């Protein structure tokens, strides 16, 4: 029952076609094929170059479409009225009413306030990032100025140079370096907590 396979043997999947008349090629065709400098590798390279050119042109076309669409969207966004300010100030007058009544254009004022708040937030965010960078730089400068940390670092480097095949022999120097850095960190934290 399980002895016969369900697939036919592979020899039966081959098809051989025989022609009723003999096939012959002219000597000119055979000479042209043999004299042709084109090989399989050159054909594959030409095909690869053709594919690359097509892909490149398609990518350029897509890029142009996307940049056009982006500029259209940016134009729409910049020309669209701001719906958030209208919902915040439902009693705000239209520009015609405010000018005729002699009042201030509340919509324009609230929009400029909102833009000012956005720019203030972004500037504050950048200032905070710069402060963090300066703090990190101060810590690195303090580590570089501390003589005991420099000495411990130099000892680790010298030990590793001497024992380049056996770096685990430098564990004492590494521990000393860790202690010095820990001491420096405690001093720094103590300064911050004061």
Predicted confidence (pLDDT) per residue in 92-135, tens digit: 444 444 444 444 555 666 666 666 666 777 778 888 888 887 77
For the stretch 50-63, pLDDT in tens is 999 999 999 999 99
Give the pLDDT score at 144: 66
For residue 68, give both structure tokens: 């056009």
- The alpha-helical segments, DSSP class H, found in the chain are 27-35, 40-79, 83-88, 95-101, 106-145, 147-162, 171-193
- DSSP 8-state assignment for residue 192: H
Q: Is the pLDDT of residue 22 over 50?
A: yes
**Choice between 4 and 68, residue whose per-residue pLDDT is larger:** 68
CA–CA separation, 103 vs 23, rounded Å?
Answer: 98
Q: Is the pLDDT of residue 75 over 60?
A: yes
Give the pLDDT score at 18: 77
N-term to C-term CA, the chain: 89
36 SS3 class: coil
Give the pLDDT score at 62: 92
């Amino acid at each position: 029952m399980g002895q016969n396979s369900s697939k036919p043997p592979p020899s039966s999947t081959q098809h051989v076609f025989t022609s009723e008349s003999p096939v012959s090629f002219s000597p000119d065709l055979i000479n042209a094929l043999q004299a042709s400098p084109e090989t399989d590798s050159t054909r594959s390279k030409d095909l690869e170059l053709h594919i690359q050119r097509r892909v490149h042109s398609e990518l350029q076309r897509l890029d142009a479409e996307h940049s056009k669409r982006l500029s259209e969207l940016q134009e729409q966004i910049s020309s669209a009225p701001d719906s958030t300010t209208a919902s915040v100030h439902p009693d705000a007058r239209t520009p015609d009413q405010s000018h005729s009544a002699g009042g201030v254009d509340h919509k324009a004022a609230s929009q400029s306030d909102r833009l000012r708040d956005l720019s203030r937030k972004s500037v504050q965010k950048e200032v905070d990032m710069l402060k963090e960078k300066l703090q990190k730089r101060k810590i690195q400068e303090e580590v570089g100025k501390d003589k005991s940390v420099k000495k411990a670092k130099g000892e680790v480097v010298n030990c590793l140079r001497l024992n380049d095949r056996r770096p685990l022999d430098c564990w004492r120097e590494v521990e000393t370096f860790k202690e010095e850095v820990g001491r420096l960190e405690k001093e720094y934290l103590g300064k911050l907590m004061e």
